[in-house]
Amino acid sequence: MAIIFDDKTNTFTLHTERTTYQMQTDPYGFLLHLYYGRRTDGVMDYLLTFADRGFSGNPYDTGNDRAYSMDALPQEYPCRGSGDFRNPAIEVVNEDGSYGCDLRYQSHIIRDGKYGLEGLPAVYAQKEEAQTLEILLEDPVSGLQVCLLYGVLPELDVITRSVRVRNAGTQKVRLLKVQSACLDFLTGKYDCISFYGRHAMERQYQRVPLLHGDFRIGSRRGTSSHQYNPMMILTEPDTTEDFGTCYALSFVYSGGFQCDAGMDQYNQTRVLMGLSQEQFSWPLKPGEEFTAPEVILSCSRDGLGRLSQNLHSCIRRHVCRGIWKEAVRPVLLNSWEAAYFDFDGEKILCLAEEAAALGVEMLVMDDGWFGKRDDDNSGLGDWFVNEQKLGEPLGKLIEKINGLGLKFGIWFEPECVNEDSNLYREHPDWALTVPGRKPVRGRNQLVLDFSRKEVVDHIFEQLCNVLDQGNIEYIKWDMNRSLTDVFSRCGEDQGTVSHRYVLGVYDFLERLIARYPKLFIEGCSGGGGRFDAGMLYYTPQIWCSDNTDALDRIKIQYGTSFGYPVSAVGSHVSAVPNHQTGRVTPLKTREVVAMAGTFGYELDLLKLSEEEKAEVRRQIQDYKHYAPLISNGRYYRLTNPFVDEIGAWEFVSGDGREVLACAVMQEIHGNMTAGYLRLKGLTSGKKYEDLQSGKIYDGDALMEVGLPLPLETGAYQAYRYYFRQV
């Protein structure tokens, strides 16, 4: 049993294989958080301390007990109005304008299987793989009911949380804030790891000590954003990749979010994660319900490496869906950096012919094939094939490409519209704009109001029309701007529109995968601007970044690896000088880096020399050999490229017998000191053979000191070692 309720102490204990999470309802009905950490038995309420603390008020029904204060006690779901002056998880305004809310335990249910969330992405599991706990809290005055949902996946050391709020009273209420998870820590010092960035430079690693005051990351852009990923890690200060306690929170949501962490006056730490409060205001009439998106929690006592592996398995096996979730991806050639908008059917076919000759398995026609679209100023919204540009119907072109033995994929940006488009001319009110104001443009485009069903329906129909024209096996779903002017003519409260927009996107995607269950969808938002567990529920892979420079990618992919599996990371070999940085890196280096993701190409293969083409042929063969290990193996970070000169990572098969270790020299100096590649995850006491050199090494020695990398000149050299247990 993963979830245990002890009715003598009113304690809820959630066990995973290596961790325990515990809470308790106290005599007043408050749900207190007791513990989250290494697996333990017993009741942990002895951790609570009580004292008469100045300016920390006491609930009325505690009588004269001045030592009982919500301001100092650890809570499962703190609300504004209870006398807790810390950051609340929920804020409600009642019909009379008051902010009162007082949540007390009512009942609970424990059942097998994992709860789902209607209209929202969520972790799923077989009945025997998970258990669900629902705890119902209620405000006795307003009748507001808050149902806390917990999903426990013991094998992965994962606990999920979500919240359903229901107005069971007789008066209207308005939700101003509903966070999905709160974690209170009674004691301990923590660092916070988060992932900041910008377009073409996503998920940069940052680790800072948590101090008094709130540390906040979030997005007010309507998408999860390039700027902050909806993922946060809390670690003890001495935690490393391999040792120490750490906690992850990953938001299964693709819109605006916030995550706050900070220490209170008593040096206790609170972390909250959920929907962005900004532009959020959700009215609930009697009988209505609101569901907050899910947060995935994981705790590791074996350092950050294990924590990431927990999240990788959870996302890969319990978030991604469909036939592609665990399948090795086809090696693709994408037309974007090969031709941008400057192509016709013949060019696409020439690329396909060369691709087929080199062993590529899929040709993706990126932006520029529809409406009037020869640059990025027009055409979005007009999802009909520009047959003039292609020189023939799409179906015919696809047949020819399939005839070469290649699959065919195509690009869409369903959520946006150019003012210079038929769609906008016919339905200007379908774009998000504020009446009487000129909208903010981004990439010269506006965002369609996906909170409206008729808009979603129309674009869906257009997309299906295209998809039905031929054997399209992949689509790249792009979204190339942030939301502004969030005002809808949908007739709903404007404070609900940002979230309804995201629900509209999810609804569209759900319909798409229901109608085309074999379709492989890659998410994208100017690269990794919407790289989150929510999107991965619909698109098992996301284009990691518009930056294809191998050196920058080492850092971007390093940051990404903390929360997301390699199978989710779209990564391609592109041309040099690189189009984003102008940097020249060896072809081998670009290959090694792109193989830390789903491998493909993004360049004009026709421009390669014969020597380079031969290398590409060899790369693809190698990839096919390594792909099962890369996508199914355990992923280890061997260095931190933000501080180390070498960027290095490794894949180890589940049984520890096969190892692929990769390294890139990020810097070059005169009279170099030797760099050692220190491996992880091998089986102690076993020998490993380097299959290239035939040399045999002791596994323990490889993990203890490692392998000296060659001392070579030349910038950005890459090395790859493939070992097999002897």
CA distance 689 to 699: 9
Q: Locate 527 and state its tokens.
A: 């690269």
Q: Indicate the residue among 167 and 480 with the shorter CB distance to ligand GLA.
A: 480
Site string for ligand GLA, 450-479 (x = CB under 6 A): ----------------------------x-
Q: How far is the CB of 254 from ligand GLA (least distance, A)?
A: 16
Pick the binder of ligand GLA from 480, 589, 631, 666 (CB under 6 A): 480
Q: Is 77 in the site for ligand GLA (CB under 6 A)?
A: no
The whole-angstrom distance between residue 148's C-alpha and the CA centroid of its chain comes to 23
Q: Which of 138, 532, 602, 658 is flagged as catalytic?
A: 532
Give the DSSP per-residue string, 450-478.
TTSHHHHHHHHHHHHHHHTTTT--EEEE-
Give the DSSP per-residue string, 411-431.
EE-TTEE-SSSHHHHH-GGGB
How far from 50 is each of 45, 59, 264, 266, CA to CA, in Å?
Answer: 12, 14, 16, 12
Q: Pick from 201, 114, 100: which is nearest to 144 by CA?
A: 100
Q: Is 366 in the site for ligand GLA (CB under 6 A)?
A: yes
Please check whether residue 571 is in contact with residue 557, taking contact to mean a CB–CB distance below 8 angstroms: yes
Pick the binder of ligand GLA from 497, 524, 544, 682 (CB under 6 A): 524
Q: Element (H or E) spanning 589, and its range?
A: helix 587-594
Q: Indicate the residue among 13 and 225 with the shorter CB distance to ligand GLA.
A: 225
Q: Is 537 in the site for ligand GLA (CB under 6 A)?
A: no
Q: How far is the CB of 385 from ligand GLA (least distance, A)?
A: 17
Q: Is 250 in the site for ligand GLA (CB under 6 A)?
A: no
Q: Indicate the residue among 527 and 565 with the shorter CB distance to ligand GLA.
A: 527
Q: Element (H or E) spanning 720, and its range?
A: strand 718-725
Q: Is 367 in the site for ligand GLA (CB under 6 A)?
A: yes
Question: What residues numbered 371-390 form the site for ligand GLA, per CB under 6 A?
Answer: 376
Q: Which of 492, 612, 622, 698 is flagged as catalytic?
A: 612
Give the DSSP per-residue string, 524-579.
-BTTBTT-SHHHHTT-SEEE--S---HHHHHHHHHHHHTTS-GGGEE--EE-SS-T
CA distance 195 to 227: 8
Q: How far is the CB of 336 from ligand GLA (least distance, A)?
A: 5
Q: How far is the CB of 341 from ligand GLA (least distance, A)?
A: 8
Pick the binder of ligand GLA from 139, 532, 546, 552 (CB under 6 A): 546
Going 624 to 545 to 579 to 346, the CA torsion angle's sign is: positive
How far from 272 is each of 13, 181, 185, 259, 281, CA to CA, in Å?
Answer: 21, 6, 12, 6, 18
CA distance 635 to 649: 7
Residue carrying the six token digits 């730490």:
269
- Cα distance between the two ends of the chain: 40
Q: How far is the CB of 574 from ligand GLA (least distance, A)?
A: 11
Q: How far is the CB of 419 from ligand GLA (least distance, A)?
A: 17
Q: Of the ranges 271-279, 286-294, 417-425, 523-531, which one interacts with ligand GLA (CB under 6 A)?
A: 523-531
Q: Of the ranges 116-124, 180-188, 325-333, 521-529, which one interacts with ligand GLA (CB under 6 A)?
A: 521-529
532 is catalytic: yes
Q: How far is the CB of 703 from ligand GLA (least distance, A)?
A: 39
Q: Is 336 in the site for ligand GLA (CB under 6 A)?
A: yes
Q: Is 526 in the site for ligand GLA (CB under 6 A)?
A: yes
Q: Of the ranges 37-45, 120-128, 350-358, 524-532, which one interacts with ligand GLA (CB under 6 A)?
A: 524-532
Please check whether residue 484 is in contact with residue 437, taking contact to mean a CB–CB distance below 8 angstroms: no
Pick the binder of ligand GLA from 205, 324, 408, 411 (CB under 6 A): 411
CA distance 569 to 206: 20
Pick the binder of ligand GLA from 35, 251, 474, 543 (CB under 6 A): 543
Q: Indicate the residue among 546 and 591 with the shorter CB distance to ligand GLA.
A: 546
Strand partners for 415: none
337 is catalytic: no
Q: Of the ranges 12-20, 519-527, 645-653, 704-712, which one interacts with ligand GLA (CB under 6 A)?
A: 519-527
Name the residues annotated as catalytic: 532, 612
Which residues here bind ligand GLA, judged by CB under 6 A? 336, 366-367, 376, 411, 478, 480, 524, 526-527, 543, 546
